[in-house]
């Protein structure tokens, strides 16, 4: 009989309503309070990713078309548009890293630093090439 009674008490305790600790209740409240901000952050990240994809595709197409243009100003503006798209990629990457890791992942910060350096070197190379081409064009006009 004692084993039956112990078994019945064990079953009753499993299915009985449990008292929640204050820590668990506070965690639930915290997650409920942060939910709108998380929804906004992820929505903003998706919209930003779509815009950046559009921007990089259009800048790449225009960069390819700039060779056909005889106007130097249009060529320069298309180059600047491509540089702007590269910086948008960098901004998107950093935004998504901060949203998804909540700033806690050191490994992802290393990746961000490496890609930031690569994009900035590409921007520097494109800028130097544009300046060099402009100087050569001015010398030809003289």
Rounded CA separation 91/84 (Å)? 10
Convert 101-129 to b/e letters by CB count within 10 Å (16 or more is b).
eeeeeeebeeebeeeeeebeeebeebeee
Per-residue pLDDT 10s for the chain (142 aa) are: 578 888 888 877 777 766 667 787 788 888 888 888 888 878 888 888 899 999 999 999 988 888 787 888 888 888 889 999 999 988 888 877 877 777 677 778 888 889 899 999 999 998 898 889 888 888 887 7
Rounded CA separation 77/62 (Å)? 10
């Amino acid at each position: 009989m004692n084993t039956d009674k112990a078994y019945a008490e064990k079953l009753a305790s499993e299915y009985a309503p449990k008292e929640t600790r204050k820590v668990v209740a506070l965690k639930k409240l915290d997650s409920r309070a942060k939910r709108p901000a998380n929804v906004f952050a992820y929505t903003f990240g998706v919209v930003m990713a779509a815009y950046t994809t559009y921007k990089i595709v259009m800048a790449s197409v225009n960069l390819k078309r700039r060779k056909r243009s005889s106007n130097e100003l249009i060529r320069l503006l298309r180059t600047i548009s491509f540089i702007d798209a590269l910086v948008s990629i960098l901004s998107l990457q950093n935004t998504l890293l901060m949203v998804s890791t909540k700033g806690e992942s050191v490994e992802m910060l290393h990746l961000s630093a490496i890609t930031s350096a690569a994009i900035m070197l590409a921007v520097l190379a494109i800028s130097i090439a544009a300046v060099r081409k402009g100087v050569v064009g001015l010398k030809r006009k003289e």
